[in-house]
């Protein structure tokens, strides 16, 4: 890398650098009216300048917070940088949060200015206006439907840009002086954590930490300004922010905003990203789609697919890792590449992917190997909001399904006696906003961050995560109980969307299962099994039998692991509804809130342990528009076979 | 939603379409007898009535599919007789259909493009070759179509064959095609029929948005009373081919003849 970044210690300074060095290269693309519209770095910088000028004209000053509510849109990212130009702090909020969830961050940071994407977001903000008296300015990007809104707080982005250009005409030196005042140690952004554990906390990150981590990972993977990323996950999530803001600012690559959430797949095929991130559930959903479509294909195609996937499973990973493979195998793989893998990668929009990451939760080994075997360089990483993401990344050629790789340059790892992972890294957060107590609890005097994750480093120096420390429990007889480990094993089956395991302090383990409507629905169709809807299908005996097979396979697996043999699942039921973030059962990043689910469905848990065969349930559901309704159903409960630890080897 | 939605861009204006004493009979069957009403510019005008009341016949008369035996229709102050549907369409009145009339095997995009057909000026040969002025013209038309796709939020289905879409979306494509003609008056034949509640709400919002943003005058037939009452400015009620009520939704709701027609009375 010949490019010198010395002295460029804030994002606005990096932006000006790119506008100078690669002004005509694409910075952001957005599909609008069916066509990819491109902003060059120079155009991006102009937009940022005008927005910053507009914000300054509106009284936004150093240290103020600017909330951003919207999907991935060029303006959202431009506003992020505009706030930073003025020494302000952008606070991206989850765009799919309901109004009440937005009130806390706005109150917590006494936010005065908000940029909202469209009418939907504006409506939510107006709804919480009475609880958030600090909110004085709401800017909106997409004017559709907002023409007749008369609230004095509202202003369109176009108007703001106009104010900005005017402001900068009057005082041309103002903005450059403001940008020059910024330093690496200043706060760059604040992210509210999704709150798996209680109330949301604002994580304060500095320019230095974000830029340092973004660069460490970019150097490791050799990212450069020719790379392309599809920005399709919520900008309020630190990961998306790193991939679509921090890293492009560090390397100068281009990000692409899809047309809408529904068009992500086809937009991805249009763009052909070279650098890609997705949580395991996205990879899983893609594979489910592929499998379903393969089942509907002609017999010839099906047998070709089966044959070459077998070849890929055997040698694909080795070829990707650069290990030596026999000539005949190599030929077979080459043919498979021509007939199956290449077209498949193309359908997935991953033809040009050089580096793909997954993180956030454990990925199923089969799923992981599938993508690697067809030649997609999928790797795992470990990190969190508090660490500016990059803590551990699997380097090329050293990829294992069950670890998250060794520490990235600059990171130190350590463990408490309870196996809790501690981290020290230049990417660590400054503090939790206005919450010194929480800050002190998770960051000790020596600068170690207590992750709350339990794990260990294996013989190759790779980190392996088992579960959350607080979730690792004990069965009544004292045996180790790691619920997430069990749930993950269950979720690796395509038919199971979500699972919740109970067992802490109990004599045995029982579980709730959430079936995957798409996969089970298709399975039922293939067997001409009629069903009226989700609740009906979930209660069919045939589906129970299918799920029991899955549970018993997990039990057989567990029997082979001495520490966890006691955690075999004795009884289960299939829930009558999908677990939903809107009902508080999942976090916004779609992780199960186990304790909450346990409390909400206490009667079902009691039934699991009480030996009943059937339980009636009535549940409140909350629809997206805030209305509530109720579902009632009779749930069956089934016993499963468990395996004695020794006999398991013979059975398997 | 209750935030400052009062007041539209265009206030309801002058009479744009007037139906005067129209009677239509098929042999001995009287579909319409002596029906008169008017439609003002920029308003949402509903025609309601029980099954067989003559609603669709009324629309077909306006649309030029049927020619009434008696009565006149004045559009923009000009009386028209025996106009063909395509002439009516060219004059700025477009419509959607109760039973969808889309090209099932064609993509959503192509279906909507057909709505631009009347506006295409270049010859068939140039269009087939896609050269010169034909190409420029197609790009211009495509831009308008893309705005409509964006407006109706069907970007994700641009290239999907219409036959593969769920019914509610097909209805939306039908509306998109009608909008592609940039009509002054839009006739909607039971736009909400067969939809679930969510789809109905979406459709209502789109109808109001079209009316508000493009100022399009809307005449719609519907037999779901609650929908009609919520979104219409004025309502005409037909029963057995006769007009039995005309006025604001509240007036119509209170009209005894309408209540009788809908709920039935003992004779």
Under the banding of pLDDT at 50, 70 and 90, the label for residue B267 is: low
Q: Are A509 and A570 in contact (CB under 8 A)?
A: yes
The pLDDT assigned to A648 comes to 42
Beta carbons of A27 and A44 less than 8 angstroms apart:
yes
Q: State yes or no: pLDDT of B5 exceeds 50.
A: no
How far does the CA of residue B143 sit from the closest CA of chain A (Å)? 7
The owner of tokens 């939809």 is B195
pLDDT at A281: 84
Check B155 against A34: CB less than 8 A apart: yes
Q: What are A245-261's pLDDT values in tens digits? A: 999 999 999 999 999 88
* Stronger pLDDT, A535 or A19, i.e. the higher one: A19
Can you point out the beta strands (E) in A33-125? Answer: 35-40, 65-69, 89-93, 113-116
**What distance in Å separates the CA atoms of residue B108 and residue A172, rounded to the nearest whole number?**
49
* pLDDT band at residue B266 under the 50/70/90 scheme: low
Give every CB contact of residue B165 below 8 A, 6+ residues apart in sequence: B108, B157, B173
Q: Which helix (H) or strand (E) covers residue A473, if one does? A: strand A473-474
Mutate to test the interface with A, among B1, B2, B4 (most CBs of A within 10 A): B4
pTM: 0.80
Q: CA of A625: how far to CAs of A97, A146, A184, A582, A622, in Å? A: 11, 19, 42, 10, 8
Contact between residue A255 and residue A335 where contact means Cβ atoms under 8 Å apart: no
Question: Which residue, B197, B145, B215, is CA-closest to B175?
Answer: B145
Give mean pLDDT, residues B129-148.
Answer: 86
Is the separation of the CB atoms in A235 and A219 below 8 Å? no
3-state secondary structure A200-262: CCEEEEEHHHHHHHHHHHHHHHCCCCCCEEECCCCCCCHHHHHHHHHHHHHHCCEEEECCCHH
Least confident of A219-223, A264-268, A416-420: A416-420
**Residue from the list B5, B153, B158 with its beta carbon closest to the beta carbon of A34:** B158
pLDDT of residue B204: 92
Check CB contact under 8 Å for B3 and A145.
no
Q: What mean pLDDT comes out for the span A191-200?
A: 72
Q: Is the dihedral of CA B233, B238, B239, B245 positive or negative?
A: positive
If you average pLDDT over residues A593-613, what whole number do you get? 88
Fold of A473-651: GMP Synthetase; Chain A, domain 3 (3.30.300)
> How many residue pairs bridge chain A and chain B with CB atoms within 8 Å of each other?
43
Q: Specify burial of residue A438 (Cβ count, 10 A radius: 0-12, 13-18, 19+).
A: middle
Question: For A345-354, A440-449, A476-485, A491-500, which range has the lowest pLDDT when averaged over its residues?
Answer: A476-485
Q: Closest CB to A145: pick one of B142, B159, B209.
A: B209
What 3-state class would DSSP assign to A93?
A: strand
- Name residue B15's beta-bridge partners: B40
Q: Residue B8 has what pLDDT?
A: 59
- Cα separation of B138 and A52, whole Å? 39
Tens-place pLDDT, residues B94-130: 999 877 789 999 999 999 999 888 777 777 777 777 7
Q: Does B8 touch chain A (CB under 8 A)?
A: yes
Helix or strand or coil: residue A638?
Answer: strand
- Strand-strand pairing, B78-79 and B70-75: antiparallel
Tell me which chain A residue has its CA closest to the CA of residue B109.
A34
Among A408-417, A604-613, B222-231, the range with the most confident prediction by mean pLDDT is A408-417
Give the count of alpha carbons within 13 A of A444, CB side only.
10
Mean pLDDT of A107-129: 95
Least CB–CB distance from A33: residue in B147, B153, B159 = B147
Intervals of CATH 3.40.50.12780 along chain A: 11-277
CB-closest option in B1, B143, B153 to A33: B143
Task: Tell me the three state secondary structure of residue A397.
Answer: coil
Per residue in A313-359, pLDDT (tens digit) is 999 989 998 888 899 999 999 999 999 999 999 999 999 999 999 98
State mean pLDDT over A519-525: 90
pLDDT given for residue A361 in this prediction: 79
pLDDT bracket for residue A393 (50, 70, 90): very high
Distance from CA of B13 to the nearest CA of A (A): 19
pLDDT for residue A214: 96
For A87: left if phi > 0, alpha if psi spans -120 to 50, otherwise beta; the answer is left
For A35, name the nearest residue in chain B, comparing CA atoms only: B146
Closest residue in chain A to residue B208, using alpha carbons only: A145
pLDDT above 60 for A649: no
Task: Give residue-wise pLDDT tens across range A265-281.
Answer: 899 999 999 999 998 88
- pLDDT for the residue A650: 43
B153: nearest Cα among A261, A268, A349: A261
The pLDDT of residue B78: 86
Long-range Cβ contacts of A239-244 (<8 Å, 24+ apart): A239/A277, A239/A359, A239/A360, A239/A389, A240/A72, A240/A277, A241/A92, A241/A189, A241/A191, A242/A210, A242/A213, A242/A214, A242/A388, A242/A389, A242/A390, A243/A275, A243/A277, A244/A72, A244/A77
CA distance B154 to chain A (A): 9
Contact list, B147 vs chain A (CB under 8 Å): 33
Q: What's the average model confidence in pLDDT over B61-66?
A: 90
**pLDDT-above-70 percentage for chain A:** 97
3-class DSSP state for residue A270? helix
Nearest to B3 among A33, A126, A144 (CB): A126
Residue B72's Cα: distance from chain center in Å? 20
CA distance A336 to A309: 8
Looking at residue B222, its pLDDT comes to 85
The closest CB to that of B155, out of A144, A149, A260, belongs to A260
At A434 the three-state DSSP class reads coil
Q: Which residue of A has its CA nearest to B211?
A: A145
Nearest CA in chain B to A259: B155
Write the CA distances from A530 to A523, A524, B166, integer angstroms: 11, 7, 20
> Is residue A522 over pLDDT 50?
yes
A289 by Cβ neighbours in 10 Å (0-12 / 13-18 / 19+) ranks as: middle
Q: Calculate the CA B197 to chain-centre distance.
A: 20
Judged by DSSP in three states, A508 sits in coil
Q: Phi and psi for B144 in degrees, rounded to 5? A: -65, -45
- Please check whether residue B6 touches A, CB under 8 A: yes
Q: How many CB atoms lie within 10 A of CB A647?
A: 11
Tell me how close the Cα of B83 comes to any Cα of chain A, in angstroms: 36
Binding-site residues on chain A for chain B (CB distance < 8 A): 32-35, 123, 126, 144-145, 147-151, 259-260, 262-263, 266
Q: Transcribe chain B into DSSP letters.
A: --SS--S-SS---SEEEEEEEEEEEETTEEEEEEEEEEEETT-EEEEE-STTSSHHHHHHHHHTSS--SEEEEEETTEE--S--HHHHHHTTEEE--SS----TTSBHHHHHHHTTGGG--S-HHHHHHT-HHHHHHHHHHHHHHHHHHHHTT-GGGTTSBGGGS-HHHHHHHHHHHHHHT--SEEEEESTTTT--HHHHHHHHHHHHHHHHHT--EEEEE---HHHHHHH-SEEEEEETTEEEEEE-HHHHHH-HHHHHHHH----
**Band of the pLDDT at A53, cuts 50, 70, 90?**
very high
The CA distance from B146 to the nearest CA of chain A, in Å, is 5
**Alpha carbon distance, N-terminus to C-terminus of chain B:** 44
Q: Quick check: B3 and A263 CB within 8 A?
A: no
Give residue B6's pLDDT.
Answer: 44
- Our CA angle for B127, B133, B137, nearest 5°, is 75
Checking if the pLDDT of A197 tops 60, the result is: no
In B, minimum Cα distance to A266 occurs at: B156
Q: B158 and A35 in contact by Cβ < 8 A?
A: no
Q: Which residue of A has its CA nearest to B4?
A: A149
Give the pLDDT of residue A168.
95
Using the structure block, give the residue that is written with the tokens 């551990």.
A392
Q: In angstroms, rounded to a whole number, what is the distance separating the alpha carbons of residues A254 and A248?
A: 6
Identify the residue among A30, A33, A258, A293 best suited for mutation to test binding to B, counting B beta carbons within 10 A and taking the highest: A33
DSSP state of A167: H
B residues 89-148 closer than 8 Å to A (CB): 142-143, 146-147
CA distance B53 to A402: 69
Interchain proximity A148–B8, CB inside 8 Å: yes
- Percentage of chain B lying above the pLDDT 90 cut: 42
CB–CB contact B156 A33 (8 Å)? no
Which residues of chain A form CATH 3.30.300.30?
473-651
Query: What domains are there in chain B, each with its CATH number?
Result: 1-92+184-267 (3.40.50.300), 105-182 (no CATH)
Rounded to the nearest angstrom, the gap between the alpha carbon of residue A529 and the centroid of all alpha carbons in its chain is 35
Contacts of B125 (CB under 8 A, 6+ apart): none
Alpha-carbon distances, residue B215 vs A143, A446, B169, B188 (angstroms): 17, 67, 23, 15
Contacts of B159 in chain A (CB under 8 A): 266
Q: Mean pLDDT across chain A, nearest whole number?
A: 90
B140 contact residues in A (CB cutoff 8 A): none
State the CB neighbour count (10 A cutoff) for residue A527: 10
Contact A431, A439 (CB under 8 A): yes
| Percent of chain A at pLDDT exceeding 90 | 62
Q: Is B197 on the interface with A (CB under 8 A)?
A: no
Q: Give the 3-state secondary structure of A2-28.
A: CCCCCCCCCHHHHHHHHHHHCCCCEEE
- By the 8 A CB rule, do B22 and B32 touch? yes
Q: How far is B38 from chain A (nearest CA, A)?
A: 28
The model's pLDDT over A533-542, given as tens digits with 9 standing for 90+, comes to: 888 899 899 9
Q: How far apart are CA A302 and CA A321, in angstroms?
A: 28
**Chain A CB contacts of B6 below 8 Å:** 148
Nearest CA in chain A to B205: A145
The answer to whether the Cβ–Cβ distance between A260 and B8 falls below 8 Å is no
Residue of A nearest to B148 (CA): A33
Q: Minimal Cα–Cα distance from A410 to chain B, Å?
A: 43
Token readout for A636 is 């069956």
- Closest-CA residue of chain B to A120: B1
In angstroms, the CA A434 to CA A108 distance is: 8
Q: Distance from A260 to chain B by nearest Cα, in Å?
A: 7
In SS3 terms, A288-329 reads as: HHHHHHHHCCCHHHHHHHHHHHHHHHHHHHHHHHCCCCCHHH
Mutate which of A129, A140, A147 to test chain B, going by most B C-beta atoms within 10 A? A147
**Partner residue opposite B5 with nearest CB, options A32, A148, A259:** A148
Kindly list the residues from chain B whose CB atom is less than 8 angstroms away from the CB atom of residue A149.
3-4
Q: What is the arithmetic mean of pLDDT over B194-205?
A: 88
The mean of the pLDDT values for chain B is 86
| Interchain pair A148, B6: CB under 8 A | yes
* More confident call, B126 vs A515: A515
To the nearest whole Å, the CA of B155 is away from the closest chain A CA by 7
The predicted-structure confidence for A542-588, as pLDDT tens digits, reads as follows 999 999 999 999 998 888 766 678 889 999 999 988 888 878 888 87
**Please, which pLDDT band fits residue A403 given cuts at 50, 70 and 90?**
confident
> What span, in angstroms and rounded, lies between the C-alpha atoms of A253 and A28?
9
* Terminal Cα-to-Cα distance of chain A (whole angstroms): 53
A267 to chain B: nearest residue by CA?
A: B156
Q: What is the DSSP letter of A528?
A: T
Phi and psi dihedrals of B37, rounded to 5?
-165, 170
pLDDT at B178 over 90: yes
Superfamily of domain A11-277: ANL, N-terminal domain (3.40.50.12780)
């Amino acid at each position: 890398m010949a490019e010198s970044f010395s002295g460029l210690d804030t994002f606005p300074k990096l932006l000006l650098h790119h506008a100078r060095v690669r002004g005509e290269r694409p910075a952001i693309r957005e599909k609008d009216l069916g066509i990819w519209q491109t902003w060059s770095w120079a155009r991006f910088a102009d937009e940022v300048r005008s927005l910053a000028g507009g914000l300054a004209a509106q009284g936004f000053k150093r240290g103020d917070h600017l909330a951003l509510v919207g999907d991935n849109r060029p303006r959202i990212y431009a506003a992020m940088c505009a706030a930073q130009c003025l020494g302000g702090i952008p606070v991206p909020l989850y765009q799919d949060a309901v109004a009440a969830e937005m009130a806390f961050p706005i109150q917590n940071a006494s936010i005065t200015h908000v940029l909202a994407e469209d009418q939907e977001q504006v409506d939510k903000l107006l709804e919480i206006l009475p609880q958030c008296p600090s909110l004085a300015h709401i800017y909106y990007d997409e004017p559709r439907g907002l023409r007749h809104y008369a609230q004095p707080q509202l202003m369109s982005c176009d108007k703001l840009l106009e104010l900005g250009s005017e402001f900068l005409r009057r005082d041309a030196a103002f903005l450059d002086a403001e940008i020059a005042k910024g330093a690496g140690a200043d706060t760059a952004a604040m992210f509210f954590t999704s709150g798996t554990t209680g109330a949301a906390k604002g994580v304060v990150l500095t320019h230095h930490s974000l830029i340092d981590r973004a660069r460490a990972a970019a150097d490791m993977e050799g990212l450069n300004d020719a790379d392309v990323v599809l920005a399709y996950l919520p900008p309020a999530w630190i990961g998306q922010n790193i991939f679509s803001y921090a890293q492009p600012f560090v390397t100068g690559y281009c990000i692409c905003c899809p047309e809408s959430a529904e068009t992500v797949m086809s937009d991805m095929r249009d763009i052909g990203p070279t650098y890609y991130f997705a949580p395991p559930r996205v990879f899983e959903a893609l594979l489910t789609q592929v499998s379903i479509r393969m089942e509907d294909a002609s017999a010839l195609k099906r047998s070709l697919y089966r044959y070459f996937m077998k070849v890929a499973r055997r040698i694909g990973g080795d070829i990707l890792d650069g290990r030596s493979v026999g000539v005949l195998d190599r030929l077979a793989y080459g043919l498979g590449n021509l007939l199956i893998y290449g077209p498949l990668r193309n359908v997935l929009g991953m033809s040009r992917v050089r580096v793909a990451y997954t993180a956030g939760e454990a990925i199923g080994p089969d799923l992981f190997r599938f993508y690697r075997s067809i030649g997609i360089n999928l790797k795992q990483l470990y990190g969190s909001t508090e660490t500016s993401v990059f803590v551990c990344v699997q380097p090329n050629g050293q990829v294992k399904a069950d670890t998250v790789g060794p520490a990235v340059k600059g990171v130190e790892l350590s463990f408490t006696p309870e196996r809790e992972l501690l981290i020290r890294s230049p990417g660590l957060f400054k503090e939790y906003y206005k919450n010194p107590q929480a800050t002190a609890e998770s960051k000790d005097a020596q600068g170690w961050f207590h992750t709350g994750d339990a794990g260990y480093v294996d013989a190759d120096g790779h980190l392996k995560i088992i579960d959350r420390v607080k979730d690792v429990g004990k069965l009544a007889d004292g045996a180790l109980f790691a619920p997430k480990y069990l749930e993950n094993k269950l979720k690796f089956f395509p038919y199971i969307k979500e699972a919740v395991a109970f067992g802490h302090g109990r004599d045995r383990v029982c579980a709730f299962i959430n079936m995957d409507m798409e996969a089970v629905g298709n399975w039922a169709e293939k067997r001409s099994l009629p069903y009226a809807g989700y609740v009906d299908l979930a209660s069919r005996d045939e589906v129970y039998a299918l799920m029991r097979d899955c549970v018993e396979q997990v039990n057989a697996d567990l029997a082979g692991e001495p520490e966890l043999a006691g955690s075999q699942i004795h009884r289960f039921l299939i829930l009558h509804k999908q677990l939903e973030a809107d009902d508080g059962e999942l976090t916004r990043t779609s992780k199960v809130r186990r304790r909450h689910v346990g409390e909400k469905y206490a009667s079902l848990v009691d039934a699991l342990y009480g030996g009943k065969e059937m339980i009636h349930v009535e549940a409140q559901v909350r629809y997206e528009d805030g209305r509530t309704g109720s579902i009632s159903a009779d749930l069956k409960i089934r016993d499963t076979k468990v395996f004695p630890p020794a006999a398991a080897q013979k059975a398997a | 939603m209750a935030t400052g939605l009062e007041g539209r861009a265009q206030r309801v204006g002058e009479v744009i379409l007037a139906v005067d004493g129209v009677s239509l009979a098929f042999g001995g069957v009287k579909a319409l007898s002596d029906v008169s009403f008017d439609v003002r510019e920029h308003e949402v005008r509903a025609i309601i009535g029980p099954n067989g009341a003559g609603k669709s016949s009324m629309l077909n008369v306006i649309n030029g599919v049927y020619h009434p035996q008696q009565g006149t229709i004045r559009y923009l102050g000009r009386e028209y007789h025996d106009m063909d549907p395509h002439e009516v369409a060219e004059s700025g009145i477009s419509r959607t259909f109760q039973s969808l009339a889309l090209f099932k095997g064609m993509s959503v995009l192509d279906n909507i493009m057909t709505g631009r057909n009347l506006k295409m000026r270049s010859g068939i040969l140039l269009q087939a070759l896609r050269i010169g002025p034909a190409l420029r013209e197609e790009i211009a038309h495509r831009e308008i179509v893309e705005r409509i796709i964006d407006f109706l939020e069907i970007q994700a289905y641009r290239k999907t064959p219409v036959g593969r879409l769920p019914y509610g979306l097909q209805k939306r494509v039908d509306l998109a095609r009608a909008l592609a003609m940039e009509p002054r008056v839009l006739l909607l034949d039971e736009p909400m029929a067969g939809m679930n509640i969510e789809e109905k709400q979406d459709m209502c919002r789109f109808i109001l948005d079209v009316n508000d943003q493009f100022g399009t005058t809307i005449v719609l037939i519907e037999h779901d009373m609650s929908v009609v009452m919520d979104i219409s400015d004025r309502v005409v009620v037909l029963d057995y081919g006769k007009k039995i009520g005309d006025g604001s939704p509240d007036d119509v709701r209170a009209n005894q003849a309408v209540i009788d027609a809908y709920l039935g009375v003992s004779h």
